[in-house]
Amino acid sequence: MIKFYSSLLLILFALTSCSKSYKIKGVSSVSSLDGKMLFLKVAKEGKWVNVDSAEVVHGEFSMKGSVDSVQMVSLFMDDENIMPMVLEGGSIEINISNTKLTVKGTPLNDKLYAFVEKKASMDARSEELGHKEAKMILDGVDPAEINVILTKESDQLSNEMNSYVKSFIAENYENVLGPGVFLMMCSNFPYPLMTPAMEDIVKNAPDSFKNNPLIKEYVSKAHDNMQSIQEHQMMQQNEQQAAMISQKQPAASIAH
């Protein structure tokens, strides 16, 4: 009996160990990547820290190792951030081409790149509005009518995108995809800012999301920036009001 339990514990330990092991197989059709070193990096305390690396040889590269916990990481070539991914137990497949970047093979990576693909299709629809505007102008449509039509479509698409991003993050509050995608969306701004949609995401999030160090740092910096912007706008308004008053004062004294 003791021997049976010992064997069972060894099997369980082996299974547990395998679940934390990762194996990455990458394929690249981008010829300029051949001979280059690729690095997996994780953000820690405001810095990118190397986790693993591999050389691209004849369009292929591979990595393997183990992780203590699931991590949101990025694949880098030198200092260039190529693509985000999740480092989790299992076999991970990366495909890099000039037109598409994909990661698949594990649950969270499949989920992440389903999101990336859908978000990309929405972005493409947004870009298409510009082409539609040019076509309508060439067709002689009244500019006022064009503005009404495109504003309505743009607002609808923006609401759809915000709703999709918010729901995806909310569904993944408790795993690395929630904070990871939130910060991906934030990276589109030139500096940390909080939109109403982002405020809703944080407001409705559980403590595990709010207390994520990267989220806390971003939100804190964003609120500081928003306060600075409001103070600057208020200063400008006060200066404009003071200028208007000073312009009126001579006319008032002459009339007197």
Secondary structure (DSSP) of 148-209: HHHHHHHHHHHHHHHHHHHHHHHHTTTSTHHHHHHHHHHTTSSS----HHHHHHHHTS-HHH
Distance CA 212, CA 173 (A): 11
Longest dimension (CA), the chain: 110
Match domain 21-105 to its CATH number in 3.40.50.720, 3.30.365.10, 2.60.40.10, 3.90.190.20: 2.60.40.10
| pLDDT for res 10 | 38
Query: Rounded distance, CA 86 to CA 84, Å?
Result: 7
Domain segments of the chain: what residues? 21-105, 109-231
The confidence score (pLDDT) of residue 251 equals 52
Residue 186: how many other CB atoms lie within 10 Å: 19
Which pLDDT does position 240 carry in this prediction? 78
pLDDT in the model for residue 250: 58
- Give the tokens for residue 233: 């706008």
C-beta separation of 52 from 39 below 8 A = yes
Backbone angles phi, psi at 59, to 5 degrees: 80, 15
| pLDDT tens by residue, the chain, 256 residues | 444 334 433 333 333 444 589 999 999 999 889 999 999 999 887 789 999 999 999 999 999 999 889 999 999 998 899 999 999 999 999 999 999 999 999 999 999 999 999 999 999 998 898 899 999 999 999 999 999 999 999 999 999 999 999 999 999 999 999 999 999 998 888 889 998 999 999 999 999 999 999 999 999 999 999 888 888 788 888 777 777 777 776 554 544 4
Q: Describe the strand order of the beta sheet including 101-104 as a list of residue ranges.
A: 60-66, 21-28, 90-96, 101-104
